[in-house]
Amino acid sequence: MHELGVVIEVVKTVENFAEKNGVTKIDKIVLQIGELSSMIPKYIEACYPAAVDGTMMEETKLEIEILPGNGICKECNKVFNIIQTKGKCPICGSKDNEIISGKEFMIKEILAC
Amino acid sequence: MDTYKILEIKESVFENNDRQADLLRADLKKEKTFLLNLMSSPGSGKTTTVLRTIEALKDEMSIGVLEADIDSDVDANTVSKTGVKVIQLHTGGMCHLDADMTKQGLEGLGTEGVDFAILENVGNLVCPAEFDTGASKNAMILSVPEGDDKPLKYPLMFSIVDVLLINKMDSIGFFDFDLEVVKERVKKLNPNIKVIPITAKTGEGIDEWANWLRTEVKNWNEK
Ligand SMILES: Nc1nc2c(ncn2[C@@H]2O[C@H](COP(=O)(O)OP(=O)(O)OP(=O)(O)O)[C@@H](O)[C@H]2O)c(=O)[nH]1
Ligand SMILES: [Mg+2]
Ligand SMILES: [Zn+2]
């Protein structure tokens, strides 16, 4: 499981941001995770308490938004969800496509004061 | 009562690390220390290759080694027997090193006068690929018993490295490992990659690897 290291990176980034912006308390953090990224939301949630332990985010709630893993078909330009169709274009059946979203792993925002 | 407001961050989690890695790279350039980040699955032969590399180059340059492990000193002990400077980094359960940890490791090692620092990353083909350590160049080892399908399963790792060492070539007769197929697969992901077959155990192929390093270290430390 490589999520712990990544969540620790998230905490570092937010702490940096908080320091620069004079934030003292964070109620909630919102992450955006693409379906095609190597991060699994369930594991992120599982290791989150360990990663925030002893930091200013100890009491901060975690919210995760999933971004769809979409691709565009190189044959017919149809945009479709790569995961649901196992990479096959639902219109023409081509497997030749380009990923346009779903690899993200972003800190979207925090609710803070 | 506290009034909370939404603050947009909109930052990719890896951006923060990428920035630190760029800073570290610039520092290393100034200090004339070439840092190689060596990655692979557990047991592919990183430590054996590090030993061979030291043997080949230690009379020409000053070498330092950073051994990253989740929790043990075995590799650092082995490497220290060669007489080069070595430091053991414990990642405390983490499966990769980031730029911050690498920087701390280099400070612990002391890079003054070190021409060539080798970082043996944690054995893992996923996470180390996502975290830029600040290294001058990245190399990975794929060993024959792991199979020639690995570029298909871990494309990111094969896309980001400058060199791919194919180790344990002595065992190729026992496995259905097709060297040409691997080359084809990795060149598709990474057209500029250099592929060098080696047998770290016997030292076969190490010459070509040492030559590549010699040139890279020289370029880095001169310009
Ligand atoms: N047959 C053969 N065995 C090798 C070769 N290179 C390494 N080995 C063996 O493979 C095993 C693992 O080698 P290491 O160098 O410890 O591998 P590593 O990647 O450093 O392993 P970790 O640090 O545990 O991830 C050892 O038993 C080595 O002797 C090789 O070229 N041929
Ligand atoms: Mg080792
Ligand atoms: Zn189509």
- Tell me which residue of B48, B52, B32 sits closest to B40, measured CA to CA: B48
* List of residues 6+ apart from B106 with CB closer than 8 A: B24, B28, B33, B35, B66, B117
CATH of the domain at A37: 3.30.2320.80
| Amino acid B93: pLDDT | 67
| Amino acid B100: pLDDT | 86
From the CA atom positions of chain B, what is the Rg in Å?
18
Q: Ligand nearest A73 Cα, by number?
A: 3
What residues of chain A have any CB closer than 8 angstroms to a CB in chain B? 1-2, 4-6, 8-10, 12-14, 16-17, 21, 23, 25, 27-28, 38, 104-113
pLDDT in tens, chain A (113 residues): 567 878 988 998 899 899 999 999 999 999 999 998 878 898 899 889 999 999 999 999 999 999 999 999 999 999 999 999 989 999 999 999 998 988 889 999 999 98
Q: Which residue do the tokens 């380009």 mark?
A: A98
Nearest-atom index, ligand 1, CA of B48: 15
User: Alpha-carbon distance B127 to B139, whole Å?
Assistant: 15
Total domains, chain A: 1
* List of residues 6+ apart from B72 with CB closer than 8 A: none
- Looking at residue A32, its amino acid is Q
User: Alpha-carbon distance B37 to B123, whole Å?
Assistant: 12
Alpha carbon distances (Å) from B129 to A53, B19, B45, B47, B222: 26, 16, 18, 19, 28
| Amino acid B70: pLDDT | 74
Structure tokens that stand for B166 in this block: 């194919």
* List of residues 6+ apart from B134 with CB closer than 8 A: B20, B21, B22, B23, B24, B25, B28, B35, B99, B102, B103
Q: Which residue do the tokens 């830029």 mark?
A: B132
Identify any residues that bridge with A64 across adjacent strands, giving them in sequence order.
Answer: A31
**Interface check B1 vs A, CB under 8 A:** no
**Ranges of chain B with pLDDT below 50:** none
| Amino acid A1: pLDDT | 55
Identify any residues that bridge with A110 across adjacent strands, giving them in sequence order.
Answer: A29, B7
Sheet holding A79-81, edge to edge: A79-81, A70-73, A97-101
User: Alpha-carbon distance B136 to B8, whole Å?
Assistant: 33
User: Ligand 1 within 6 A of B75 CB?
Assistant: yes
- Looking at residue B201, its amino acid is K
Question: What's the pTM value of the predicted model, to 2 decimals?
Answer: 0.80
Residue A102, domain extent: 3-112
| Amino acid B127: pLDDT | 80
- Tens-digit pLDDT profile for residues B124-137: 888 888 889 999 99
Over chain A, what HEC string results? CCHHHHHHHHHHHHHHHHHHCCCCCEEEEEEEEECCCCCCHHHHHHHHHHHHCCCCCCCCEEEEEEECCEEEECCCCCEEECCCCCCCCCCCCCCCEEEEECCCEEEEEEEEC
Ion ligand 2 neighbours (CB, 5 A) are B 46-47, 75
The ipTM is 0.79
User: Alpha-carbon distance B29 to B31, whole Å?
Assistant: 5
